[in-house]
Structure 1
Amino acid sequence: MSFNKNKCNRNCCSEEIVEESHVTRNFVKPPTSDTECSDTSTSGKKKENASKDHRIHSVEVPLPDHGGKSKLKKNIKSVIVEKPYEVPTKSKKRPMYVINNFSVPRVLKFCKKTVSKDFGELINEFYDLKYFVPHNLECESFLNIDNRLKNRYDSIKCIEWSRVKLNSVPENPHGYIHANFVSTKNLQSKFILTQGPKDGTLEDFYHMVWQEDCAVIIMLCNYIETNISKCNRYVPPVNTVITFKDLSVMCIKGPSVSVFSDDDSILETILCLTLDGKKKYVTHYQHIAWTDFSVPTTSNIRMVLELLNHIRTCHHGTIIHCSAGVGRSGTLMAIEMLLCELICGGELCSAKRVVQQLRKQRGHSVQTASQYIFIHRVIIEYALINKWMTYKDVKNFCESYDKFILSEKIKKEEARNERLVTLNL
């Protein structure tokens, strides 16, 4: 990988993908019938910008290695962007979902059943699921010794039948990447869940973005968390280019607070990928306030729905990743799956069934009790937003939820402090 001088000549807006490449994805039919996928689409509008030159000088960009202890420094040369990418101004809120006359009762039934349960029942539900592993799911490529260094965690397996298979990637003859397709017949978009890129998988990651025609990347982690490397730095600074053998990636806008969210915890960046003279534009969203093995704060719950509502309009693929690509990523994916099932009248109308189905495609998804209960809390918030329920209807559940999340946070901090004390002895 190298950083080179390049130019980007483009007038565009954030929802437009110009050079489309319809590549047939290597997707094997799942063992159940709930794995078909349909797409919806919207179109963007162009905005003309005055031509300007934006210059930067050589800078050093830290790229942490696998352990996050050392830094790999790369020289980025000056870049001229003749027509910079402009993010459109904030538009009116879209409805949270396209609903029908039959969707409201299903959502209400789920919410009423949730709040009627003793809070401990939901915790027990998760622990019943905690070690759920689908039978007869092979992980042949994950276990291949040639692919071992491409896995971030040895304990997080990549299921064979649903994995993404890369075509014609230099220095990756096996076409392996730790990533899986996730689909049900009611999902409105194509989704891929993957681990955070490593230093040795950056090229694989961007080839996957190109090959699967993905227009959105959702990053649910920081590069470094509690002094531990969670993901290698793969987004270049603005107006700079990462160049691989046959593919280049340029950051043409950002990072800035996302235009669709009122919350400042989501950063938006625009990337331009170039391969064989063709260009694709990708919007990168990074949630900087969702920590490992936890959930967003209560004040950020609506932001999660806004994010899902925004990407649902994308008729191209969406990639979701955190560090391992199963905890935070699996939780967000489970919320979208459950919401689509409830709205469309699918068969997976419980969080338990959704998580089971998700783990058949992306193993280990949803790692903690707080993440499992968060799925329920988001659906309840969805009902509150649409005024199908009042806060009085769910007050006891919401208060119990807040207390539980706070206690889990305290436990996590205490455990972390104990580890630090042990290390300092």
Structure 2
Amino acid sequence: MAQASFHPLDQDLQRLRRRGRTTRRHRRRSKNRTEESREEDAGINDLALQLQDSHYLSQAARRAQVKVFVEHTLSTGVVGLIAEFKAMKRGNDFSRMREFVAQIPQGRNRYKDVGCLDFQRVMLHLGPVSYIHANYVSTPVNSKRFICTQAPLPNTCADFWYMVVQEKSIAIIMLCNFVEQGSRKSADYVPLSFDNKTYNFDGVIVTLKKQEYFQFPIETRVHIRVSFLEVRVPGLSPHYCIHYHWQDWPDRGVPDADLASIYLLTKIQTTTAPIIIHCSAGVGRTGSIVLLQNSLELLQSQQPLRDIASDLLALRKQRNNSVQTQHQYLYVHQVLLNYLQKMKYLDDSINPYLEKFTADYEAATKGF
């Protein structure tokens, strides 16, 4: 695989518009360990530049910025964080989800027990219906940073693409597979093969223009298929966007807690349009990524990183029941600790505590 690059997302789209042609993904070329180490070091430096975080602050200022989060996480420990998560009860207040309830007979909700809040609900102005199971979610630097949504159903694929075009979204993150453990998790809403590169959803035409795999500058078992798409809605100019399909995040489980998720977020962080993100229900895996982005933006804007619990409660007020499992909650903490350690936020003296937390994390999430 070619050396990883982190061109801003809009540059990728500009190249797609210029080319107007399809290419196949390149296979990974083998590298020796020296080459991999050089690439990883370069990638970490690029990561800091792309995020434009507080990397240039003094060592003392950087440690002060994350002090509350690190002390709370390590002192609470894995067992304590599990208890913390369980104390944040999930549920559905259907009095705050009136449109969700009204749409149940229409079959536009994937799960009856995963409600969609009226607050921050995306309303469609394109297409024949206004309802879609989706909510705007804010982060520290953008009031509409994400649109968290359920995976499309066979009868909502056109609605999904109307939303993409309406919101001018250029980045879509898919965190589930179409079928998992024999159960259908998403309709086939995006073309993923050049053998069948164009889908037509009630006149909305989606065409695959280019496809490759995300090139990480680190060793990781994560595979993200990147599809460059053209979307045509009758009467409007073509819309171009990029679909990132994380192919191996287990339902209700977690992937390796390396920096793969951080690199993905870095790639798309330049866009100001809402990032559309979904798993099957659009709350579990989806909420985990949103929490990570929220923390990255706190660092970027030089705000203190505190406890994740308060951020999760704020997120759930916008996208109900976000983060479904204790393992997902732990994953967010472990990824952030790994990131902070890699980016030199942490003093070496706490390494034994980090190692203990990581060992406990791996034991708690083993098999999930």
Same fold (TM over 0.5): yes
| Correspondence for 2:339 | 382
- Structure 1 residues 294, 169: CA separation in 2 closer, same or farther (over 3 Å shift)? same
Do structure 1's residue 332 and structure 2's residue 289 form an aligned pair? yes
Equivalent residue in structure 2 for 1:209, among 142, 152, 164: 164
Do structure 1's residue 143 and structure 2's residue 101 form an aligned pair? yes
Report the count of equivalent residues.
334
| Correspondence for 1:131 | 90
User: How far apart are the structure 2 equivalents of 1:188 and 1:204?
Assistant: 23
Mapping of residues 287-306 of structure 1, within 5 Å: 287-298=246-257, 301-306=258-263
| Correspondence for 2:359 | 399
User: How far apart are the structure 2 equivalents of 1:49 and 1:326?
Assistant: 36
Across the aligned residues of Structure 1 and Structure 2, the Cα RMSD in angstroms comes to: 3.1
Equivalent residue in structure 1 for 2:52, among 95, 98, 107: 98
User: How far apart are the structure 2 equivalents of 1:147 and 1:394?
Assistant: 50
| Correspondence for 1:23 | none
| Correspondence for 1:259 | 215
Mapping of residues 266-285 of structure 1, within 5 Å: 266-275=224-233, 276=235, 278-285=237-244
Query: Quick check: which one's helix share is greater?
Result: 2
User: How far apart are the structure 2 equivalents of 1:307 and 1:402?
Assistant: 23
**Which AA in structure 2 matches 1:259?**
Q
Equivalent residue in structure 2 for 1:244, among 175, 178, 201: 201
Q: SS where residue 272 of structure 2 aligns?
A: coil
**Which AA in structure 2 matches 1:388?**
Y
Q: SS where residue 183 of structure 1 aligns?
A: strand
User: How far apart are the structure 1 equivalents of 2:243 and 2:113?
Assistant: 28
Give the alignment's TM-score, normalised by structure 1.
0.71
Max radius of gyration: which structure?
Answer: 1
Equivalent residue in structure 2 for 1:355, among 296, 299, 312: 312
User: How far apart are the structure 1 equivalents of 2:318 and 2:143?
Assistant: 17
User: How far apart are the structure 2 equivalents of 1:48 and 1:209?
Assistant: 17
- Structure 1 residues 145, 108: CA separation in 2 closer, same or farther (over 3 Å shift)? closer
Equivalent residue in structure 2 for 1:84, among 14, 19, 22: 22
1:151-208 per-position Cα deviation (integer Å, ceiling 9, x unaligned):
00000000002110001313x2xx0000000003434972100001000000000000
Asked whether the 8 Å contact 1:341–1:349 carries over to 2, the reply is no
User: How far apart are the structure 2 equivalents of 1:16 and 1:106?
Assistant: 29
Q: SS where residue 131 of structure 1 aligns?
A: coil
Alpha-carbon distance, 1:369 to partner: 0.8
What is the aligned-residue identity percentage? 29
- Structure 1 residues 47, 229: CA separation in 2 closer, same or farther (over 3 Å shift)? closer
| Correspondence for 1:190 | 145
| Correspondence for 2:73 | 114
User: How far apart are the structure 1 equivalents of 2:206 and 2:16?
Assistant: 22
- Structure 1 residues 231, 83: CA separation in 2 closer, same or farther (over 3 Å shift)? closer
Q: SS where residue 253 of structure 2 aligns?
A: coil
- Structure 1 residues 126, 98: CA separation in 2 closer, same or farther (over 3 Å shift)? same
- Structure 1 residues 229, 149: CA separation in 2 closer, same or farther (over 3 Å shift)? same
- Structure 1 residues 48, 304: CA separation in 2 closer, same or farther (over 3 Å shift)? closer
Asked whether the 8 Å contact 1:326–1:366 carries over to 2, the reply is yes
Alpha-carbon distance, 1:46 to partner: 4.1
- Structure 1 residues 49, 320: CA separation in 2 closer, same or farther (over 3 Å shift)? closer
Alpha-carbon distance, 1:340 to partner: 2.0
Q: SS where residue 283 of structure 1 aligns?
A: strand
**Which AA in structure 2 matches 1:289?**
D
Listed as ranges, the gaps of 5+ residues in structure 2 are 1-6, 29-38
